[in-house]
Chains A and B, each alone.
Chain A
Amino acid sequence: MNNKGGYSICTTDVLVIGVEAAGAYAAVKASEDEDVDVIAITKGSDIARAGATVTASHSTFAVECQGLHDLLGAPTDTRDSPEAFFEDMVKEGKYVNDQMLVESLVRECAPRAKEMESWGFQWDKTQFYASPGHTYQREIFGLDTSGPQMCRVMKRILESRPNSQIMGNMLALDLLTSGDEIAGAVALDLLTGELVVFEAQCVIIATGGAQALYPYVSTGREMTGDGHAMAYRAGAEFHDMEYIQFIPGELIWPPGWMVGVQPFVMFDGLYWWYNGLGDRFMRRWDPMRIEDVTRDIRSIGVATEVLEGRASEHGGIYASFAHLPSDVVDNVGRTRRRGWISSSGFDYNPLVEMMKEGTAIELANYCHFWMGGIKINVDGETNIPGLYASGECCGGVHGANRLSGGALTQCIVQGARAGIAASAHAKKTSRPEVDSEQVEACRAWVYRPLEREGGTNPMELRDKVTEFADSHTGPVRDHEMLEEAIAEAERLKKVELPHLYCKTKNPAYNLEWVHAIQTANIVQVMEIVAHSALPVRNSRGAHYRRDYPDTDNDNFIKSVVAKQVEGRCEVRFEPVKITSITPPKGRRPYPG
């Protein structure tokens, strides 16, 4: 077994961890300066082989229309402006967004969209959307796809430059620091099972969300908050980790039909929802619009039924077409370009036939997006000099809820900012000395599951953790649940994680081992979420406290900042950063 040996060392100026929308953009901008070396690593086998971006295929970027019109020559609604986009984001974010981050997003989105075009990204300038919350039609698609096309364009640039390099199958484990500054990171070369130490003046974390803390995800299952966990261990601050977006779109029964998020997209608006008692429960949340409400309210409605024991047979809720005559369903199919066949060519007709006959399908909440994350300023700087972050792993810009299209835009704006800032920082600082004791400490925790002769199975523990997280830190929370989650995270860290054990001992491409490492990371993320959600004693956006169901603007227009201090997660409130919109006052029943 090759786990006692040495490690390879790669030196670079800027190390980017995660190389999709945000990380790839950062790497491209950082490597524009030929004197700055950039390595971008991913735990996927390559760019576009992991993460949310590649799954965001038929997806939109939200870009204010004036910019779309003036810079891209797109025929859109020019009544829109950066100011109007700003107002929509802050309103939908329920006034807890960091307005400096929003300001940068709304002003820089159009120039970045133009920049992407100059690199060869093709926009579809014929159709524009305004999903709920957008006042104007400012959502725009990529011509063939959005996320995958973006990855292709970035890959070509990064591979063509002598000073930039993408490395796949590199699982980042821990950050390295020297004094107060960042010194690089340790990663596991998944192909060999050996450690690689990256020495760098700057590290940009762009590892996306932590969807896989929950049993169902809209992304791939590899989104385990590794970047969050390593940043936390290194002393980084977190911003509003209580805001996590869920959508009741996971088709849990019958099994096997969940191909991407397609069923949700295809059937939405057609089906009625029932709980396990046959009650159309969404009437209790909105008697007029019933199921036709925003995603946050839907996910909270569904989570409430499940938590209060009124779930469907397989633990979700029922969704049915039975109220629709079958010829109406057929007609809906006919009016669509591809009928009941998804954009990726997947055929849903057999499922539709079953539903037409009156059988309901069952849906559960999947975790879709993380509004909270690592705390950054507009340049992507964290509280640790040399450590930057961008994209979905960062908190603040969306506040308590995000607008559709805002995530990909966040990635390009923040990715560019972090890349430029890190590149400049790397040039004026010298590479700090790597402390081999830190590397050895990392090696010790990482290799232990391989060395143990017995203990906890990583996949079984993962399932226990995700089930627990779902029932305690899902869309609906209360004081007791969150206290229990904090205690459970502590117990898991003390009692379970130290016993993780892999039956498979060979370190080369050992998936069981990868699960062990990732499971430790989701536990860490759950701890931060629970600590951040506990003191927020009101309901706002994606955070619903059933013990405090009102939106309280007098006491909770605040930012929650969490950080590890002497082994404990400490949380403090900070005033929300306001530039131009003053939040409202008063207390109102949720949704505020």
Chain B
Amino acid sequence: MSEGEEERDVIIAKVLRFDPTIDEEPHFETYEVPKYKVGRQTLAKVLEYIFESIDPSLAYYVTCNRALCNGCVAMINGKAGLLCMTETTDEVTIEPAANHRVIKDLMVVPEEEDRVQQQVLKRSGKSKYL
């Protein structure tokens, strides 16, 4: 923040939303998230707030919360990064990781793993009651 600029008390987070089972096209939604007065606010925390307090249909993946699992990789302001380690900016744009199949919103699976698993399910997939 440059001097003289008024301190904002919200973060404006633009998140690319897409549920392939319902939506034809991905679209951005914008959320206002209260900004921490002290401490570090990571994007994992921003998304957690959106999920728990604004829109529980948001899908994203955060687990280890310490840069060990790589599960939370996403495009942050246009660049690949980890949601759990990246501190938010006052305005932030979050999109799903590139080169992955989008399951929903920010939840993606790598193309290769996905292909193998779908094959197993198909191979053994005689279904009952259908």
Chain A residues within CB distance 8 Å of chain B: 5-11, 39, 44-46, 48-50, 54-55, 57, 145, 148, 165, 167-169, 189, 191, 196, 220-222, 253-257, 259-260, 262, 344-346, 436, 457, 459, 502-504, 506, 508-512
Contacts and interface: CB of A to CB of B under 8 A. Distances in A.
B23 to A, nearest CB: 11
A169 B63 CA distance: 13
Interface string B53-64: 000111111011
Interface residues of B, number: 45
Contacts of A511: 51, 56, 58-60
Interface residue SS majority, chain A: loop
B130 A9 contact: no
B124 A259 contact: no
A74 B40 CA distance: 42
A9 B40 contact: no
B94 interface: no
A504 B57 CA distance: 5
A256 B121 contact: no
Contacts of B125: 8-10
Nearest to B117: A167
29 contacts: A8-B121, A8-B125, A11-B124, A39-B120, A44-B69, A45-B71, A48-B69, A49-B70, A50-B69, A54-B64, A54-B69, A148-B68, A167-B117, A168-B113, A222-B63, A254-B38, A254-B39, A255-B40, A255-B41, A256-B36, A256-B42, A260-B64, A262-B66, A346-B67, A506-B21, A506-B22, A509-B59, A511-B59, A512-B57
A506 B64 contact: no
A344 B66 contact: yes
A7 B129 CA distance: 8
Task: Sort A-B residue pairs by CB-CB distance and give the 4 closest, nearest first.
Answer: A256-B40, A260-B66, A254-B39, A255-B39
Contacts, number: 134
B65 interface: yes
Given A49-B69, A344-B67, A257 B39 contact: yes
B123 to A, nearest CB: 9
- Greatest chain A CB density within 10 A among B58, B103, B104, B128 is at B128
Interface residue SS majority, chain B: loop
A260 B113 contact: no
Contacts of B51: 511
Contacts of B121: 8, 10, 189, 196
B63 A49 contact: yes
Interface string B81-115: 00011010000000000000001100101000100
Contacts of A5: 127, 129-130
Given A191-B103, A220-B64, A255 B38 contact: yes
A44 B63 contact: yes
A253 B40 CA distance: 10
A459 B61 contact: no
- Greatest chain B CB density within 10 A among A10, A196, A256, A503 is at A256
Contacts of A10: 120-121, 124-125
